[in-house]
Chain A
Amino acid sequence: MKQFLVFVRKEFYHVFRDRRTLLILFGLPIMQILLFGYALTTEVKNAKIIVVDQAKDAASEQLIAKINASSYFDIEPGEDMEAAFKKGNIRCAVVFPADFENEKRIQIIADASDPNTAKTLTNYLTSIIQPPSAQPYQIIPVTRMLYNPALNGSMNFVPGVIALVLMIICTTLTSVSIVREKENGTMEILLVSPFNPTYVVLAKAVPYLVLSLVDFILIILLSVFVLDVPIRGSLLLLFAESTLFIISCLSLGLLISSVTQSQQTAMLISMMGMMLPTILFTGFIFPLENMPLPLRIISYFIPSRWYYFIVKAVMLKGLGFWAVWKQTLVLAGMTVTLLTISIKRFKIRLA
């Protein structure tokens, strides 16, 4: 046990003296959270539009004022929408026909080279324009946006970013730290020492588990206090699930370290190799439901997919363990499998 602690202490020295490690450990999550929280959002604000008003009557002017008042749109001067579309100056145009008062029709034209934005904008516009109905009865759809009434985009991203950041940090740091020992020749010394090889693996994992949990807390704090994302469920459950996920990522890192010989390769595999599948197959940017079957099948093997579901359920929906036990089981199964394989592989290398 004392040997174990000696080893863990050494690992901490390494982490705190290596600027690159510190940067990955603390720079990456902060950057990702702020980037996804602020820069990469699907909300559209202050979209530039042009209004072509051929009617110029009271009704049309009233509507234009309404559009102008919303924070989603900025009305640009000028009426030459074709040129403005071509230049990319505007996202959307609204055309009032000369006979607006009788016809009660307007045309909305959107730049659909970016279909998502186009759709969002036309939705915003139609909801603004909705005329008071003259019909004898009126159906008023009462929409409730569950769990996220303000449609805060961060709420979708934060669980995804937590999964992404933990996945990258855990795999990168573990794999790099083991491969570094191989590269420097210190691994041989460790293997010749009476220190049990399994303990080498565990002693490597423990410091990074602790640091990853610190990272997790950091991300949670940032999300709650900077991005206003609530934690509705049990913090304890969230913490436990994250620990499970972190262990599965650490095992993946161990596995990567057993097939690579240089720190650069390990870094490349764990950063690039993990980043893309995590972004693609976790479901926080691209909905998994719309993917073709083969891709959906691949996504089942990505641990972050399951973790993302759990975090969303616990954090945003405030659900308890009963709602996520299946996903937890899958994640636990993956963790055990990965850990077993990586410890086995590590031992084989010694022989």
Chain B
Amino acid sequence: MNEKAITCKGLTKRFGDFIAVDNISFEVNTGEIFGFLGANGAGKTTAMRMLCGLSFPSSGEATVAGYDVFTKQESIKKNIGYMSQKFSLYENLTVKENIRFYGGIYGLTNAELKEKGEGLINKLGLHSESKKLVGELPLGWKQKLAFSVAIIHQPKIVFLDEPTGGVDPVTRRQFWDLIYDAADSGITIFVTTHYMDEAEYCNRISIMVDGRIDALDTPANLKQQYKAETMDEVFYALARGAKRSAD
């Protein structure tokens, strides 16, 4: 378990003159739940997109699941799952069809699809809805389903980009139960979020300000370091120094 799930050294992304991600370095341990925090426009999503292979870094180095992001994108893709900010299932496909589609493009066999699909539906309690179009489900269920689909191929790492946006606290709590389950099964979780209560659920968190990582530690250590009661206060203390305005 000593192998690092993600390593980054001096990772930078420039768009013209604008430096979206400025020389960030960090490591994520295997099996860890790593929170990636920051205000809107701080560069979280750009950093995550570079690690997923959706965007090429301008400079620096990074490995994901032991593979180099510059040269081994194909190998990385086989070993990661991804859930974007936008809801990412097909609304006019049923629950089962979505599972079959995403499982299918990750190369799962029919037997695996059947087994995993049923397990997933049982776990989420979606039995009576399995033949409904996903568009008809409430948002909370969609998000839980999207997460379950993102890890259907048992990736080594799953990237979650603000997965709980717009979801009520109860559903968010249930969503985090799913995340813990996934972490227990050995999947490394890399999650960006706005919600500070969610930050508390992470093993370690990093806080991005203006494209840099200004803080990186366990929630308890950070609170101690910034002499704060809650993660909210830690976040405000750091974000106050930001020069970029939120979008």
Number of B interface residues at 8 Å Cβ cutoff, please give it: 32
Known contacts being A3-B105, A193-B105, A194-B74, is A10 close to B84, with CB within 8 Å?
no
Contact A188 B84 (CB under 8 A): yes
Taking CB as reference atom, which chain A residue is nearest B74? A194
From 178 to 217 in chain A, residues with beta carbon under 8 angstroms from any chain B beta carbon are 184-186, 188-195
Interface stretch of the complex, out of B50-58, B117-125, B216-224? B50-58
- B51 to chain A minimum Cβ distance, whole angstroms, is 10
Is there a chain B Cβ closer than 8 Å to A86's Cβ? no
Residue A321 CB within 8 A of the other chain: no
Binds A, one of B30-38, B75-83, B205-213: B75-83
Known: A6-B104, A7-B105, A193-B77. A188 touches B93 (CB 8 A): no
Contact flag A3-B107 (CB < 8 Å), given A13-B97, A194-B78: yes
CB of A350 within 8 A of chain B? yes
Q: Please tell me if the beta carbons of B92 and A186 are within 8 angstroms of each other in the complex.
A: no
Q: Quick one: closest A residue to B98, CB to CB?
A: A10
Among B55, B77, B84, B92, which residue has its beta carbon within 8 angstroms of that of A13?
A: B92
Question: Count of A-B contacts with CB under 8 A?
Answer: 75
Interface of A is mostly: helix
Q: Mark B96-115, 1 if CB is under 8 A from A, else 0.
A: 01001110111100000000
A140-189 contacts to B (CB < 8 Å):
184-186, 188-189
Interface footprint category on A = 20 to 34
In-complex Cβ contact of B104 among A3, A185, A350 (8 A):
A3
B90: CB under 8 A from chain A?
A: yes
* Chain A residues near B77 (CB-CB < 8 A): 192-194
- In whole angstroms, what is the CA distance A195 to B105 when docked? 6
Bound-state Cα–Cα, A18 to B91, Å: 11
**Once the chains bind, are A185 and B86 in contact (CB under 8 Å)?**
yes
**A2: CB under 8 A from chain B?**
yes
Given A3-B104, A13-B90, A194-B106, 13 further pairs, Cβ under 8 A: A6-B101, A6-B104, A7-B101, A17-B92, A18-B92, A185-B84, A185-B86, A185-B88, A186-B89, A189-B84, A191-B53, A193-B102, A195-B105
Binding site for A on B (CB under 8 A): 52-56, 74, 77-78, 80, 82-93, 97, 100-102, 104-107, 133, 150, 159
Contacts from A to B (Cβ < 8 Å) = 2-3, 6-7, 9-10, 13-14, 17-18, 184-186, 188-195, 350-351
